[in-house]
Amino acid sequence: MNLVIRAVCAIFALRPVFLYLYAMNDLKNIISHFATEGEVCSVAPLGEGFINDTFIVRTGEGTPDYILQRKNKSIFPDVESMMDNIAKVTAHLRQKVEAEGGDPAREVLAVVPTRDGKLCFCDQAGEYWAMCVYIADTLAYSKADTPELARMGGVGIGRFQSQLADFHSPLAETIKGFHDIRHRFEQWDETLKLDRAGRVSAVASEISWIESRRAKMLEFRKLVDDGTIPLRVTHNDTKISNILFDRSGRVLCVIDLDTVMTAPALNDFGDAIRSYANTGAEDDRDLSRVGVSMPMFEAYADGYLSEQARTLTQSEIDYLAFSALYITYEQVLRFLMDYIDGDHYYKTAYADHNLVRARAQYRLLESMEENYDAMCEAISALAAKYRG
């Protein structure tokens, strides 16, 4: 039956409806395996994540609500290790928030274990589920509307990185070579060779966008390999929708910790700029709307450097502006690669969605290239301001 519902919903692009029907059949049983409090009143799909399936689980008065996620095991091959990363990192963050006199219940994600003490539950179909406590009364955005919000986003990620600066337990690599462009090129070359969806010839000009910048991107990666750019504990998916803000605009809690790994801190800066400083949407069809907003760029960089300028090395400062180009380029590659491959990685809402995303992200990349000197100057000025 599920298969029929799934097929119908896929045909009519009714993913949320599918999730809801799926939920009603099976979710309460899955939830019963977790150490939750209270009676489950409702379960409904939540959010716009591209990878996992997310649900909000409402319980009655006086007990917390929860976030339930089916983790995408084709993307995260070792969900148990990923959850182990998240448990370790959140325990560390909790100690920091407590020591700073904050409210750990609202400022750190709380993983809900299963009743037998595991961090995730594997159902009969072999799907992995995880749960955390829902943090009520927060604001989430798909777009930064004001420079003030962008600045607070930068403060939040700067703080997140600094709270993890003394986290030294090893972390599993949840997705191999996630922001390593060398690894992405291996996948890219293979995808083009296989041409599984027969789309390569139709996107020749888009492919040339990637190829014309290949050498430059590989050159940057060498700086990571030779230790010029250090590794730190980073989030790796810092788009604005992965941050919860409080009503005063302050970052309350950084969520979606699936990709927390040891990686260059620059990834978090670059990915955030890709999101906060885009004047258009990530998948804008109207490319005239897409570009880098310098006020948003400066505001985010100001917030980030107010927290991190004294911690980052000079090499990291020198490549901060470039990191925005690097991550945006990588995102063009990833969307285009998924389109060429037949749309297996990202959730899509319509047939050429990944191609639309790749084109919009490419327009953003071009705009960053046009504004690159100004971006570098802004970073130098801000680094001087906060380093004294």
Nearest to 29 by CA among 124, 119, 159: 124
Range in contact with ligand GN1 (rule: CB under 6 A) among 200-208, 215-223, 253-261, 313-321: 253-261
Q: How many residues bind Mg ion (CB under 5 A)?
A: 2
Q: Which of Mg ion, ligand GN1, none binds 50 (CB below 5-8 Å, type-dependent)?
A: ligand GN1
Taking CB positions, which residue lies at the least distance from ligand GN1? 50
Contact 363, 287 (CB under 8 A): yes
Assess 256 for contact with ligand GN1 (CB under 6 A): yes
Please give the Cα distance from 325 to 329 (Å, whole number): 6
Contact 337, 187 (CB under 8 A): yes
Determine the angle formed by the axes of helices 214-225 and 314-341, rounding to 10 degrees: 130
Residues in CB range of 230: below 8 A, 6 or more apart: 264, 265, 313, 316
Interacting residues with Mg ion between 213 and 242 (CB under 5 A): 237
Assess 51 for contact with ligand GN1 (CB under 6 A): yes
Min CB(385)–ligand GN1 separation in Å:
29
Assess 282 for contact with Mg ion (CB under 5 A): no
Assess 268 for contact with Mg ion (CB under 5 A): no
Assess 256 for contact with Mg ion (CB under 5 A): yes
Q: In sequence order, what are the beta bridge partners of 114?
A: 34
Assess 20 for contact with ligand GN1 (CB under 6 A): no
Q: How many residues bind ligand GN1 (CB under 6 A)?
A: 12
Tell me whether residue 237 or residue 302 sits nearer to Mg ion (CB atom).
237
Residue type, 193: K
Assess 206 for contact with Mg ion (CB under 5 A): no
Tell me whether residue 319 or residue 345 sits nearer to ligand GN1 (CB atom).
345
Nearest to 335 by CA among 366, 364, 365, 356: 356
Residues in CB range of 382: below 8 A, 6 or more apart: 298, 301, 302, 305, 309
Query: Rule CB under 6 A: which residues touch ligand GN1?
Result: 49-51, 75, 237, 239, 242, 256, 258-259, 282, 331
